Structure 1
Amino acid sequence: MTAERDQLKNSLNSRTKERDQLQNNLNTKTTEKNQLQNSLNTRTTERNQLQNSLTTKTKEKDQLQNTLTTITQERNQLQNSLNTRTTERDQLQNSLNSRTKERDQLQNSLTTRTKDRDKQQNSLKVMTAERDQLKYYLNSRTKERDQLQNSLNTRTTERDQLQNSLNTTTTERDRFKTRLRFYEKPCLDGWWKFGTSCYYVSSTMDSSGAGQKECRTMGGELVIINSREEQIFIHGFKKNVWIGTFKKDRIWKWVDDTPFKPTYWMEGEPNNLNDEVACVEISQTASDPLKSWKDGPCIPKHWVCEKPFTP
Protein backbone atom coordinates (compact mmCIF):
# COMPACT_ATOMS: atom_id res chain seq x y z
CA MET A 1 0.00 0.00 0.00
CA THR A 2 2.88 2.33 0.85
CA ALA A 3 4.64 1.44 -2.41
CA GLU A 4 1.51 2.16 -4.33
CA ARG A 5 1.10 5.39 -2.45
CA ASP A 6 4.73 6.33 -3.18
CA GLN A 7 4.25 5.42 -6.78
CA LEU A 8 1.20 7.59 -6.89
CA LYS A 9 3.07 10.24 -5.07
CA ASN A 10 5.94 10.07 -7.55
CA SER A 11 3.45 10.07 -10.33
CA LEU A 12 1.79 13.05 -8.69
CA ASN A 13 5.14 14.80 -8.33
CA SER A 14 5.91 14.03 -11.96
CA ARG A 15 2.54 15.38 -12.99
CA THR A 16 3.11 18.35 -10.76
CA LYS A 17 6.47 19.09 -12.44
CA GLU A 18 4.85 18.79 -15.85
CA ARG A 19 2.08 21.02 -14.68
CA ASP A 20 4.64 23.56 -13.44
CA GLN A 21 6.44 23.50 -16.80
CA LEU A 22 3.15 24.02 -18.56
CA GLN A 23 2.38 26.74 -16.06
CA ASN A 24 5.69 28.46 -16.93
CA ASN A 25 4.93 28.20 -20.64
CA LEU A 26 1.47 29.54 -19.96
CA ASN A 27 2.93 32.48 -17.99
CA THR A 28 5.20 33.31 -20.93
CA LYS A 29 2.30 33.26 -23.39
CA THR A 30 0.08 35.11 -20.96
CA THR A 31 2.57 37.98 -20.92
CA GLU A 32 1.78 38.48 -24.59
CA LYS A 33 -1.95 38.43 -23.98
CA ASN A 34 -3.43 40.01 -20.84
CA GLN A 35 -6.63 38.09 -21.16
CA LEU A 36 -4.75 34.77 -21.09
CA GLN A 37 -2.87 35.92 -17.98
CA ASN A 38 -6.15 36.62 -16.19
CA SER A 39 -7.41 33.19 -17.07
CA LEU A 40 -4.11 31.58 -16.03
CA ASN A 41 -4.17 33.40 -12.70
CA THR A 42 -7.63 32.04 -12.10
CA ARG A 43 -6.47 28.52 -12.93
CA THR A 44 -3.34 28.92 -10.76
CA THR A 45 -5.47 29.88 -7.78
CA GLU A 46 -7.54 26.76 -8.30
CA ARG A 47 -4.37 24.69 -8.66
CA ASN A 48 -2.97 26.05 -5.37
CA GLN A 49 -6.20 25.22 -3.66
CA LEU A 50 -6.05 21.73 -5.12
CA GLN A 51 -2.37 21.47 -4.16
CA ASN A 52 -3.22 22.25 -0.55
CA SER A 53 -6.02 19.77 -0.67
CA LEU A 54 -3.67 17.19 -2.23
CA THR A 55 -1.08 17.74 0.50
CA THR A 56 -3.70 17.37 3.21
CA LYS A 57 -5.21 14.22 1.76
CA THR A 58 -1.98 12.66 0.53
CA LYS A 59 -2.64 9.58 2.58
CA GLU A 60 -5.84 8.88 0.79
CA LYS A 61 -5.05 7.25 -2.51
CA ASP A 62 -8.45 7.79 -4.00
CA GLN A 63 -8.32 11.42 -3.10
CA LEU A 64 -4.79 11.67 -4.57
CA GLN A 65 -5.95 9.79 -7.64
CA ASN A 66 -8.81 12.18 -8.03
CA THR A 67 -6.46 15.07 -7.49
CA LEU A 68 -4.10 13.58 -10.10
CA THR A 69 -6.96 13.25 -12.50
CA THR A 70 -7.98 16.81 -11.78
CA ILE A 71 -4.44 18.08 -12.27
CA THR A 72 -4.16 16.12 -15.50
CA GLN A 73 -7.39 17.62 -16.73
CA GLU A 74 -6.16 21.05 -15.73
CA ARG A 75 -2.97 20.39 -17.60
CA ASN A 76 -4.90 19.36 -20.68
CA GLN A 77 -7.17 22.37 -20.33
CA LEU A 78 -4.18 24.61 -19.85
CA GLN A 79 -2.52 23.04 -22.85
CA ASN A 80 -5.63 23.61 -24.91
CA SER A 81 -5.90 27.13 -23.55
CA LEU A 82 -2.23 27.64 -24.36
CA ASN A 83 -2.77 26.34 -27.88
CA THR A 84 -5.80 28.60 -28.26
CA ARG A 85 -3.92 31.65 -26.96
CA THR A 86 -0.98 30.82 -29.20
CA THR A 87 -3.31 30.64 -32.21
CA GLU A 88 -4.90 33.96 -31.18
CA ARG A 89 -1.47 35.49 -30.72
CA ASP A 90 -0.44 34.34 -34.20
CA GLN A 91 -3.66 35.74 -35.65
CA LEU A 92 -3.09 39.01 -33.82
CA GLN A 93 0.50 39.07 -35.05
CA ASN A 94 -0.68 38.54 -38.63
CA SER A 95 -3.30 41.24 -38.15
CA LEU A 96 -0.62 43.53 -36.71
CA ASN A 97 1.62 42.84 -39.71
CA SER A 98 -1.27 43.64 -42.07
CA ARG A 99 -2.03 46.86 -40.19
CA THR A 100 1.65 47.77 -40.24
CA LYS A 101 1.74 47.33 -44.03
CA GLU A 102 -1.43 49.37 -44.39
CA ARG A 103 0.05 52.04 -42.10
CA ASP A 104 3.25 52.13 -44.18
CA GLN A 105 1.21 52.41 -47.37
CA LEU A 106 -0.86 55.20 -45.85
CA GLN A 107 2.31 56.90 -44.65
CA ASN A 108 3.77 56.74 -48.17
CA SER A 109 0.51 58.05 -49.57
CA LEU A 110 0.51 60.84 -46.98
CA THR A 111 4.11 61.73 -47.88
CA THR A 112 3.15 61.86 -51.56
CA ARG A 113 0.08 64.00 -50.82
CA THR A 114 2.18 66.30 -48.63
CA LYS A 115 4.67 66.82 -51.45
CA ASP A 116 1.81 67.50 -53.88
CA ARG A 117 0.27 69.92 -51.37
CA ASP A 118 3.59 71.74 -50.91
CA LYS A 119 3.98 72.03 -54.70
CA GLN A 120 0.46 73.36 -55.00
CA GLN A 121 1.07 75.74 -52.06
CA ASN A 122 4.19 77.09 -53.79
CA SER A 123 2.26 77.38 -57.05
CA LEU A 124 -0.53 79.21 -55.18
CA LYS A 125 1.99 81.66 -53.70
CA VAL A 126 3.37 82.37 -57.17
CA MET A 127 -0.15 82.82 -58.56
CA THR A 128 -1.09 85.08 -55.63
CA ALA A 129 1.99 87.24 -56.18
CA GLU A 130 1.18 87.49 -59.90
CA ARG A 131 -2.45 88.32 -59.08
CA ASP A 132 -1.42 91.05 -56.62
CA GLN A 133 0.98 92.49 -59.18
CA LEU A 134 -1.72 92.48 -61.87
CA LYS A 135 -4.17 94.02 -59.39
CA TYR A 136 -1.64 96.78 -58.66
CA TYR A 137 -1.20 97.42 -62.38
CA LEU A 138 -4.99 97.43 -62.82
CA ASN A 139 -5.44 99.96 -60.01
CA SER A 140 -2.72 102.17 -61.51
CA ARG A 141 -4.32 101.99 -64.97
CA THR A 142 -7.75 102.68 -63.42
CA LYS A 143 -6.42 105.78 -61.64
CA GLU A 144 -4.79 106.97 -64.87
CA ARG A 145 -8.02 106.33 -66.76
CA ASP A 146 -10.05 108.23 -64.14
CA GLN A 147 -7.60 111.14 -64.25
CA LEU A 148 -7.81 111.20 -68.04
CA GLN A 149 -11.61 110.97 -67.85
CA ASN A 150 -11.72 113.86 -65.37
CA SER A 151 -9.40 115.87 -67.59
CA LEU A 152 -11.58 115.04 -70.58
CA ASN A 153 -14.71 116.05 -68.66
CA THR A 154 -13.06 119.32 -67.64
CA ARG A 155 -11.98 120.04 -71.23
CA THR A 156 -15.46 119.12 -72.46
CA THR A 157 -17.07 121.47 -69.92
CA GLU A 158 -14.66 124.26 -70.89
CA ARG A 159 -15.36 123.62 -74.56
CA ASP A 160 -19.12 123.72 -73.95
CA GLN A 161 -18.79 126.95 -71.97
CA LEU A 162 -16.69 128.51 -74.72
CA GLN A 163 -19.16 127.28 -77.32
CA ASN A 164 -22.08 128.77 -75.36
CA SER A 165 -20.18 132.04 -74.96
CA LEU A 166 -19.39 132.04 -78.67
CA ASN A 167 -23.02 131.33 -79.52
CA THR A 168 -24.18 134.15 -77.22
CA THR A 169 -21.65 136.58 -78.66
CA THR A 170 -22.50 135.57 -82.20
CA THR A 171 -26.22 136.01 -81.52
CA GLU A 172 -25.66 139.44 -79.98
CA ARG A 173 -23.38 140.45 -82.83
CA ASP A 174 -26.00 139.41 -85.34
CA ARG A 175 -28.62 141.43 -83.47
CA PHE A 176 -26.39 144.48 -83.45
CA LYS A 177 -25.63 144.09 -87.15
CA THR A 178 -29.32 143.73 -87.95
CA ARG A 179 -30.22 146.80 -85.92
CA LEU A 180 -27.35 148.83 -87.35
CA ARG A 181 -28.37 147.88 -90.90
CA PHE A 182 -31.99 148.74 -90.11
CA TYR A 183 -31.03 152.10 -88.59
CA GLU A 184 -28.22 153.02 -90.88
CA LYS A 185 -28.17 156.73 -89.99
CA PRO A 186 -31.00 157.23 -87.51
CA CYS A 187 -29.22 159.62 -85.15
CA LEU A 188 -27.25 162.84 -85.50
CA ASP A 189 -23.65 162.65 -86.63
CA GLY A 190 -21.44 161.34 -83.83
CA TRP A 191 -24.36 159.52 -82.15
CA TRP A 192 -25.03 155.76 -82.23
CA LYS A 193 -28.48 154.21 -82.54
CA PHE A 194 -29.41 151.29 -80.27
CA GLY A 195 -32.98 150.29 -79.59
CA THR A 196 -35.00 153.43 -79.06
CA SER A 197 -32.08 155.61 -77.92
CA CYS A 198 -29.12 157.47 -79.37
CA TYR A 199 -25.70 157.29 -77.65
CA TYR A 200 -22.75 159.64 -77.71
CA VAL A 201 -19.22 158.70 -76.62
CA SER A 202 -17.07 161.64 -75.55
CA SER A 203 -13.74 162.18 -77.25
CA THR A 204 -12.44 164.07 -74.23
CA MET A 205 -12.22 163.06 -70.59
CA ASP A 206 -13.89 164.79 -67.69
CA SER A 207 -15.41 164.03 -64.32
CA SER A 208 -18.73 162.26 -64.12
CA GLY A 209 -20.52 165.42 -63.00
CA ALA A 210 -19.02 167.49 -65.83
CA GLY A 211 -19.98 164.75 -68.30
CA GLN A 212 -23.56 164.85 -67.02
CA LYS A 213 -23.71 168.64 -67.59
CA GLU A 214 -22.34 168.21 -71.13
CA CYS A 215 -24.94 165.50 -71.88
CA ARG A 216 -27.75 167.80 -70.76
CA THR A 217 -26.55 170.58 -73.05
CA MET A 218 -26.97 168.05 -75.89
CA GLY A 219 -30.46 167.04 -74.71
CA GLY A 220 -29.52 163.83 -72.96
CA GLU A 221 -28.28 162.28 -69.72
CA LEU A 222 -25.39 160.07 -68.73
CA VAL A 223 -26.39 156.59 -69.96
CA ILE A 224 -28.72 154.50 -67.75
CA ILE A 225 -28.30 150.73 -68.25
CA ASN A 226 -31.70 149.03 -68.45
CA SER A 227 -30.83 145.63 -70.00
CA ARG A 228 -27.99 143.21 -70.57
CA GLU A 229 -28.12 144.00 -74.33
CA GLU A 230 -27.61 147.71 -73.61
CA GLN A 231 -24.74 146.83 -71.23
CA ILE A 232 -23.03 144.78 -73.95
CA PHE A 233 -23.59 147.58 -76.46
CA ILE A 234 -21.93 150.23 -74.25
CA HIS A 235 -19.04 147.88 -73.42
CA GLY A 236 -18.53 147.55 -77.19
CA PHE A 237 -17.26 151.15 -77.42
CA LYS A 238 -13.91 149.79 -76.10
CA LYS A 239 -13.35 152.73 -73.74
CA ASN A 240 -13.42 153.14 -69.96
CA VAL A 241 -16.52 155.33 -69.67
CA TRP A 242 -18.63 156.85 -66.89
CA ILE A 243 -22.27 155.77 -66.81
CA GLY A 244 -25.18 157.59 -65.22
CA THR A 245 -25.00 156.30 -61.67
CA PHE A 246 -23.36 157.65 -58.52
CA LYS A 247 -23.31 157.10 -54.79
CA LYS A 248 -24.57 159.80 -52.50
CA ASP A 249 -24.79 159.33 -48.75
CA ARG A 250 -23.58 155.75 -49.41
CA ILE A 251 -26.65 154.95 -51.56
CA TRP A 252 -26.33 154.11 -55.28
CA LYS A 253 -28.72 155.96 -57.61
CA TRP A 254 -29.30 156.49 -61.32
CA VAL A 255 -29.33 160.08 -62.51
CA ASP A 256 -33.09 159.87 -63.19
CA ASP A 257 -33.79 158.21 -59.79
CA THR A 258 -34.98 154.95 -61.43
CA PRO A 259 -34.43 151.68 -59.47
CA PHE A 260 -30.76 150.66 -59.38
CA LYS A 261 -30.97 147.36 -61.29
CA PRO A 262 -29.83 145.30 -63.04
CA THR A 263 -26.12 145.50 -62.03
CA TYR A 264 -23.00 144.20 -63.74
CA TRP A 265 -20.20 144.53 -61.16
CA MET A 266 -16.70 143.08 -61.66
CA GLU A 267 -15.42 140.52 -59.16
CA GLY A 268 -14.68 142.29 -55.85
CA GLU A 269 -16.71 145.37 -56.77
CA PRO A 270 -17.94 147.75 -55.48
CA ASN A 271 -14.97 148.20 -53.15
CA ASN A 272 -15.19 151.91 -52.21
CA LEU A 273 -17.77 151.13 -49.56
CA ASN A 274 -16.69 153.84 -47.13
CA ASP A 275 -16.70 156.67 -49.69
CA GLU A 276 -19.76 158.85 -49.44
CA VAL A 277 -19.44 159.95 -53.10
CA ALA A 278 -18.33 157.58 -55.89
CA CYS A 279 -19.03 156.98 -59.58
CA VAL A 280 -19.28 153.89 -61.78
CA GLU A 281 -17.39 153.18 -64.98
CA ILE A 282 -17.59 150.37 -67.53
CA SER A 283 -14.02 149.04 -67.50
CA GLN A 284 -12.27 147.45 -70.47
CA THR A 285 -10.04 145.43 -68.13
CA ALA A 286 -12.95 142.97 -67.80
CA SER A 287 -13.21 140.33 -70.51
CA ASP A 288 -16.84 139.65 -69.68
CA PRO A 289 -19.04 142.65 -70.59
CA LEU A 290 -21.65 141.51 -68.08
CA LYS A 291 -19.05 141.78 -65.28
CA SER A 292 -17.36 145.09 -66.06
CA TRP A 293 -18.67 147.75 -63.61
CA LYS A 294 -16.08 149.33 -61.37
CA ASP A 295 -16.60 152.06 -58.78
CA GLY A 296 -14.14 154.77 -57.83
CA PRO A 297 -13.52 158.49 -57.41
CA CYS A 298 -15.24 160.65 -60.03
CA ILE A 299 -11.97 161.62 -61.76
CA PRO A 300 -11.78 162.56 -65.48
CA LYS A 301 -12.67 159.74 -67.87
CA HIS A 302 -14.63 159.35 -71.08
CA TRP A 303 -18.40 159.26 -70.65
CA VAL A 304 -21.49 158.15 -72.60
CA CYS A 305 -24.64 160.21 -73.17
CA GLU A 306 -28.04 158.76 -73.95
CA LYS A 307 -31.16 160.47 -75.32
CA PRO A 308 -34.39 159.20 -76.87
CA PHE A 309 -34.36 158.66 -80.62
CA THR A 310 -36.53 161.18 -82.50
CA PRO A 311 -37.22 160.13 -86.13
Structure 2
Amino acid sequence: MLSMYFSSAGPNTEQNGAAVKRRCFRAPAVTLGVMYLLMLAGIYVRYISVTLEKDQLQNKYDKLSNNYTQLQETASGKRCPDGWKRFGCSCYFRPNEKRTWYESRTDCWNKGADLVVINNKDENKFVSELNNMNGESWIGLQTESTGRNRYEWKWVDGSPLTETFRAAGQPAATWDWYAAFSNQQGQWRQRNSGYKHYICEK
Protein backbone atom coordinates (compact mmCIF):
# COMPACT_ATOMS: atom_id res chain seq x y z
CA MET A 1 0.00 0.00 0.00
CA LEU A 2 2.74 2.42 0.96
CA SER A 3 4.65 1.60 -2.15
CA MET A 4 1.54 2.22 -4.19
CA TYR A 5 1.06 5.56 -2.43
CA PHE A 6 4.58 6.69 -3.03
CA SER A 7 4.55 5.46 -6.56
CA SER A 8 1.33 7.30 -7.26
CA ALA A 9 2.34 10.45 -5.40
CA GLY A 10 5.72 10.74 -7.06
CA PRO A 11 4.75 12.26 -10.42
CA ASN A 12 2.37 14.80 -8.85
CA THR A 13 5.03 15.90 -6.44
CA GLU A 14 7.52 16.35 -9.26
CA GLN A 15 5.01 18.28 -11.31
CA ASN A 16 4.18 20.54 -8.36
CA GLY A 17 7.88 21.19 -7.74
CA ALA A 18 8.43 22.10 -11.36
CA ALA A 19 5.48 24.49 -11.28
CA VAL A 20 6.85 26.13 -8.17
CA LYS A 21 10.24 26.50 -9.83
CA ARG A 22 8.63 28.04 -12.92
CA ARG A 23 6.77 30.52 -10.75
CA CYS A 24 9.98 31.32 -8.88
CA PHE A 25 11.81 32.06 -12.14
CA ARG A 26 8.84 33.87 -13.71
CA ALA A 27 8.68 36.57 -10.98
CA PRO A 28 12.30 37.79 -11.47
CA ALA A 29 11.83 37.64 -15.24
CA VAL A 30 8.74 39.83 -14.99
CA THR A 31 10.58 42.21 -12.66
CA LEU A 32 13.52 42.41 -15.05
CA GLY A 33 11.15 43.00 -17.94
CA VAL A 34 9.43 45.84 -16.09
CA MET A 35 12.80 47.35 -15.15
CA TYR A 36 13.91 47.09 -18.77
CA LEU A 37 10.75 48.82 -19.96
CA LEU A 38 11.20 51.54 -17.33
CA MET A 39 14.81 52.05 -18.45
CA LEU A 40 13.71 52.31 -22.07
CA ALA A 41 11.00 54.78 -21.09
CA GLY A 42 13.54 56.81 -19.11
CA ILE A 43 15.97 56.84 -22.02
CA TYR A 44 13.20 57.87 -24.40
CA VAL A 45 12.02 60.67 -22.09
CA ARG A 46 15.63 61.88 -21.73
CA TYR A 47 16.06 61.76 -25.50
CA ILE A 48 12.94 63.87 -25.98
CA SER A 49 14.12 66.31 -23.29
CA VAL A 50 17.59 66.66 -24.89
CA THR A 51 16.01 67.08 -28.33
CA LEU A 52 13.73 69.85 -27.04
CA GLU A 53 16.66 71.59 -25.34
CA LYS A 54 18.67 71.31 -28.54
CA ASP A 55 15.80 72.81 -30.55
CA GLN A 56 15.45 75.67 -28.06
CA LEU A 57 19.19 76.38 -28.18
CA GLN A 58 19.13 76.22 -31.97
CA ASN A 59 16.24 78.71 -32.06
CA LYS A 60 18.10 81.08 -29.73
CA TYR A 61 21.25 80.74 -31.85
CA ASP A 62 19.28 81.43 -35.03
CA LYS A 63 17.73 84.56 -33.50
CA LEU A 64 21.11 85.84 -32.31
CA SER A 65 22.64 85.07 -35.68
CA ASN A 66 19.85 86.95 -37.46
CA ASN A 67 20.23 89.94 -35.12
CA TYR A 68 24.00 89.98 -35.73
CA THR A 69 23.48 89.78 -39.48
CA GLN A 70 20.99 92.66 -39.36
CA LEU A 71 23.43 94.76 -37.35
CA GLN A 72 26.18 94.03 -39.86
CA GLU A 73 23.92 94.90 -42.74
CA THR A 74 22.86 98.12 -41.02
CA ALA A 75 26.47 99.11 -40.38
CA SER A 76 27.70 98.16 -43.84
CA GLY A 77 24.68 99.78 -45.45
CA LYS A 78 25.23 103.16 -43.78
CA ARG A 79 24.87 105.82 -46.43
CA CYS A 80 27.09 108.86 -46.36
CA PRO A 81 25.78 112.27 -47.42
CA ASP A 82 26.69 113.59 -50.86
CA GLY A 83 30.32 114.67 -51.00
CA TRP A 84 31.30 112.50 -48.02
CA LYS A 85 33.49 109.40 -48.35
CA ARG A 86 33.02 106.21 -46.40
CA PHE A 87 35.73 104.29 -44.57
CA GLY A 88 34.80 101.51 -42.15
CA CYS A 89 31.70 102.62 -40.25
CA SER A 90 32.36 106.37 -40.56
CA CYS A 91 31.84 109.07 -43.18
CA TYR A 92 34.51 111.70 -43.92
CA PHE A 93 34.40 115.12 -45.54
CA ARG A 94 37.16 117.51 -46.54
CA PRO A 95 35.83 121.00 -47.37
CA ASN A 96 37.62 123.13 -49.94
CA GLU A 97 37.93 126.21 -47.74
CA LYS A 98 40.62 126.82 -45.14
CA ARG A 99 39.91 127.77 -41.54
CA THR A 100 41.60 127.93 -38.15
CA TRP A 101 41.46 124.76 -36.06
CA TYR A 102 38.61 126.09 -33.90
CA GLU A 103 36.68 127.38 -36.92
CA SER A 104 37.18 124.02 -38.59
CA ARG A 105 35.79 122.17 -35.61
CA THR A 106 32.78 124.48 -35.44
CA ASP A 107 32.04 123.84 -39.11
CA CYS A 108 32.24 120.08 -38.52
CA TRP A 109 29.78 120.46 -35.64
CA ASN A 110 27.42 122.33 -37.94
CA LYS A 111 27.58 119.32 -40.26
CA GLY A 112 26.70 116.92 -37.44
CA ALA A 113 30.28 115.71 -37.18
CA ASP A 114 33.61 116.55 -35.53
CA LEU A 115 37.22 116.75 -36.63
CA VAL A 116 38.54 113.32 -37.54
CA VAL A 117 39.86 110.97 -34.83
CA ILE A 118 42.47 108.60 -36.26
CA ASN A 119 42.55 105.20 -34.57
CA ASN A 120 44.94 103.09 -36.64
CA LYS A 121 47.36 102.92 -39.55
CA ASP A 122 44.70 102.14 -42.17
CA GLU A 123 42.57 105.11 -41.16
CA ASN A 124 45.63 107.37 -41.17
CA LYS A 125 46.41 106.22 -44.71
CA PHE A 126 42.83 106.95 -45.76
CA VAL A 127 43.00 110.46 -44.25
CA SER A 128 46.30 111.17 -45.99
CA GLU A 129 44.71 110.13 -49.30
CA LEU A 130 41.91 112.66 -48.72
CA ASN A 131 44.59 115.35 -48.70
CA ASN A 132 45.63 114.35 -52.22
CA MET A 133 47.96 116.99 -53.57
CA ASN A 134 46.24 119.79 -51.69
CA GLY A 135 48.60 119.84 -48.77
CA GLU A 136 47.56 119.58 -45.17
CA SER A 137 44.40 119.26 -43.09
CA TRP A 138 43.54 119.79 -39.45
CA ILE A 139 42.66 116.63 -37.52
CA GLY A 140 40.85 116.29 -34.20
CA LEU A 141 43.98 116.25 -32.06
CA GLN A 142 44.97 119.07 -29.72
CA THR A 143 46.83 119.64 -26.49
CA GLU A 144 44.99 120.20 -23.21
CA SER A 145 46.39 121.73 -20.08
CA THR A 146 47.11 119.35 -17.20
CA GLY A 147 48.26 122.17 -14.85
CA ARG A 148 51.62 123.82 -14.16
CA ASN A 149 51.97 124.87 -17.81
CA ARG A 150 52.00 121.25 -18.89
CA TYR A 151 49.94 120.04 -21.86
CA GLU A 152 48.96 116.58 -23.10
CA TRP A 153 47.69 115.49 -26.51
CA LYS A 154 44.05 114.41 -26.60
CA TRP A 155 41.52 113.64 -29.29
CA VAL A 156 38.36 115.71 -29.58
CA ASP A 157 36.30 112.77 -28.29
CA GLY A 158 38.29 112.89 -25.04
CA SER A 159 40.37 109.78 -25.68
CA PRO A 160 44.12 109.92 -25.03
CA LEU A 161 46.68 109.66 -27.79
CA THR A 162 47.82 106.01 -27.94
CA GLU A 163 49.10 105.64 -31.50
CA THR A 164 50.91 108.43 -33.25
CA PHE A 165 52.17 109.15 -36.73
CA ARG A 166 54.08 112.22 -35.66
CA ALA A 167 56.59 113.56 -38.17
CA ALA A 168 60.25 113.48 -37.22
CA GLY A 169 61.27 116.36 -34.99
CA GLN A 170 57.78 116.94 -33.57
CA PRO A 171 57.80 116.99 -29.73
CA ALA A 172 55.74 114.48 -27.74
CA ALA A 173 54.87 117.01 -25.03
CA THR A 174 54.31 120.74 -25.27
CA TRP A 175 54.24 123.78 -23.00
CA ASP A 176 51.44 125.53 -24.86
CA TRP A 177 48.26 124.86 -26.82
CA TYR A 178 48.78 123.20 -30.18
CA ALA A 179 46.63 121.44 -32.74
CA ALA A 180 47.72 118.71 -35.12
CA PHE A 181 47.38 118.48 -38.87
CA SER A 182 48.11 115.71 -41.34
CA ASN A 183 49.92 115.99 -44.66
CA GLN A 184 49.62 113.90 -47.82
CA GLN A 185 52.28 111.48 -46.51
CA GLY A 186 50.21 110.78 -43.39
CA GLN A 187 52.65 112.60 -41.11
CA TRP A 188 51.33 114.66 -38.22
CA ARG A 189 52.67 118.09 -37.48
CA GLN A 190 51.55 120.79 -35.07
CA ARG A 191 50.77 124.50 -35.06
CA ASN A 192 49.04 126.89 -32.70
CA SER A 193 47.64 129.18 -35.38
CA GLY A 194 47.03 129.48 -39.11
CA TYR A 195 44.51 128.41 -41.72
CA LYS A 196 44.31 124.94 -43.21
CA HIS A 197 41.92 122.51 -44.80
CA TYR A 198 40.29 120.12 -42.36
CA ILE A 199 38.62 116.71 -42.28
CA CYS A 200 35.28 116.02 -40.57
CA GLU A 201 34.15 112.58 -39.46
CA LYS A 202 30.74 111.21 -38.46
* TM-score normalised over the length of structure 1: 0.36
CA offset digits 1:250-294 (Å, max 9, x no partner): 1111111012121101111138833x111100023x4xx3xx010
Alignment correspondent of 1:121: none
- Conservation of the 8 A alpha-carbon contact between 1:205 and 1:303: yes
Q: What code does the residue aligned with 1:240 have? A: E
Q: What code does the residue aligned with 2:91 have? A: C
Q: Which one of the candidate residues 222, 231, 236 is aligned to 2:124?
A: 231
Q: Tell me the distance in 2 between the aligned counterparts of 1:264 and 1:205.
A: 23
SS in 2 for 1:209: helix
Q: Tell me the distance in 1 between the aligned counterparts of 2:83 and 2:137.
A: 16
1:270 paired with 2:165, answer no
After superposition, the Cα gap between the structure-2 partners of 1:295 and 1:187, relative to the gap in structure 1 and judged at 3 Å, is same
Q: Tell me the distance in 2 between the aligned counterparts of 1:206 and 1:196.
A: 27
CA positional deviation for 1:207: 0.6
Unmatched runs of 5 consecutive residues or more in structure 2: 1-75, 146-150
Runs of 4+ in 1 over 4 A off after TM superposition: none
SS in 1 for 2:122: helix
1:240 paired with 2:136, answer yes
SS in 1 for 2:107: helix
Alignment correspondent of 2:157: 256
Q: Which structure would you say has the larger Rg?
A: 1
SS in 2 for 1:203: coil
CA positional deviation for 1:185: 9.5
SS in 2 for 1:199: strand
Q: Tell me the distance in 1 between the aligned counterparts of 2:196 and 2:152.
A: 22
Question: Which has the larger share of helix?
Answer: 1
CA positional deviation for 1:184: 10
Q: Tell me the distance in 2 between the aligned counterparts of 1:202 and 1:196.
A: 20
1:302 paired with 2:202, answer no
Q: How many residues align?
A: 119
After superposition, the Cα gap between the structure-2 partners of 1:232 and 1:252, relative to the gap in structure 1 and judged at 3 Å, is same
Alignment correspondent of 2:188: 293
CA offset digits 1:31-60 (Å, max 9, x no partner): xxxxxxxxxxxxxxxxxxxxxxxxxxxxxx
The correspondence of residues 129-168 of structure 1 with structure 2, limited to 5 A, is none
Q: Tell me the distance in 2 between the aligned counterparts of 1:187 and 1:283.
A: 24
After superposition, the Cα gap between the structure-2 partners of 1:187 and 1:198, relative to the gap in structure 1 and judged at 3 Å, is same
- Conservation of the 8 A alpha-carbon contact between 2:78 and 2:89: no
SS in 2 for 1:211: helix
- Conservation of the 8 A alpha-carbon contact between 2:153 and 2:160: no
Unmatched runs of 5 consecutive residues or more in structure 1: 1-182
1:280 paired with 2:180, answer yes
CA offset digits 1:70-109 (Å, max 9, x no partner): xxxxxxxxxxxxxxxxxxxxxxxxxxxxxxxxxxxxxxxx
Taking every aligned residue pair, what percent have the same amino acid on both sides?
Answer: 31
Q: Tell me the distance in 2 between the aligned counterparts of 1:205 and 1:281.
A: 12
Q: Which one of the candidate residues 196, 214, 221 is aligned to 2:107?
A: 214
- Conservation of the 8 A alpha-carbon contact between 1:222 and 1:304: yes
Question: Which has the larger share of strand?
Answer: 2
